[in-house]
Amino acid sequence: MRDTGETWAVVLAGGEGSRLRALTTTREGQTIPKQYCSLRRPSCLLQDALERARTAAMSSHVCAVVAAQHRRWWTAALSGLPQANVFVQPEDKGTAYGMLLALLKLEEINPRAPVTFLPADHYFRDEAIITRLLRVAGNLASVNTDATYVLGVEPDAPDPELGYILPASPVGERPVGISGFTEKPSPEYAKDLISLGAVWNLFVFVGTVRALLALFEEDHAEAVRRMREALRQSSGRQDALDAFYQTAAPLDFSHDVLEVQATRLQVLRLPHCGWTDLGSAQRVEAALRSMTTLADARLDAATSPPLFLDLCATR
């Protein structure tokens, strides 16, 4: 087992969660990004993800990427993190920049450090399963420092709203290469992908800082150079980073990085664990049905202050 002292974990929490707006809009008409809402718990989804991240890295090495416009919510939700571990994006220019911002911040500390990236708004019925695989992936990354691992979960059924990873060979307990990624296939194509051994993409990535940066630098070296220079010029100020974001071309991690670099990655398979990305009201309902400790969750919600909007409050 590796020493986790050099390992980092980053929770990506900059999204708007617009697909779940029907559940995340208050009676006053205010829409709250879903990562700052709860699922029958006193903690919000972002805080749940931070606890998940702490199983992969020491608490002092857990970070979060957030959006400047969400400050009113993340100020309280991230009160337990060191200020230096909160990476603020000035605006939304695509999912790739949140990861790149974190990687360049961590590069200044240790470019060889293993790092795990996790979404802030997912649910796992069985946390023990994802915890185990995060640790396995971290161990692999600490040994194979040029490799990058992507976590995928066995599909329950063809779902045209999710992303799929197609392994280059049958995937078992060990990581295997990747043939390609597919985002939101048709129902018929999703069935074909599953028959070929595809798994759902969890959007969880593990590798060293250097290995993950290499994925960006292959096709987007100029964006990496410009952000690195903006961070150098900032020196504690935000103006140079603001200027970079204002002029940066949009960059989507799935489309512009993953799909292009698929053959450089490896996939680790997660068995059924009650995972959902909570991307729709139907998935929130499914998560609620799968909660094995629903009675305890209701008790927690009833006896704790309502700090966060409950996604299940109207279900």
Determine the angle formed by the axes of helices 95-107 and 209-234, rounding to 10 degrees: 80
Residue 33, pLDDT above cutoff 60: yes
Identify the pLDDT of residue 295. Answer: 46
Inform me whether the pLDDT recorded for 63 exceeds 90.
Answer: yes
CATH number, span 7-148+204-246+276-303: 3.90.550.10
Residue 293 confidence class, pLDDT cut points 50, 70, 90 = low
Q: What is the pLDDT of residue 237?
A: 62
pLDDT of residue 162: 94
- pLDDT, tens digit (0-9, with 9 covering 90-100), for 147-193: 999 999 999 999 999 999 999 999 888 999 999 999 999 999 999 99
Q: How confident is the model at residue 100 (pLDDT cuts 50, 70, 90)?
A: very high
pLDDT of residue 285: 82
pLDDT of residue 41: 82
Among the listed residues 147, 250, 136, the one whose alpha carbon sits nearest the alpha carbon of residue 207:
147
Q: What are the residue boundaries of the structural domains of the chain, listed by start?
A: 7-148+204-246+276-303
Hey, is 42 helix, strand or coil?
A: coil
Most distant CA atoms of the chain, gap in Å: 52
- What predicted TM-score, i.e. pTM, was given to this entire model? 0.91
Confidence band for 224, pLDDT divided at 50, 70 and 90:
very high
pLDDT the model gives residue 298: 47
Q: Check whether 294 has a pLDDT greater than 50.
A: no
CA 81 to chain centre: 17
90-96-99-103 Cα dihedral, nearest 10 degrees: -100
Query: Which secondary structure element, helix H or strand E, spans residue 234, and what is its range?
Result: helix 209-234
Quick: pLDDT tens for 262-279.
999 999 999 999 999 988
Q: Are 227 and 104 in contact (CB under 8 A)?
A: yes
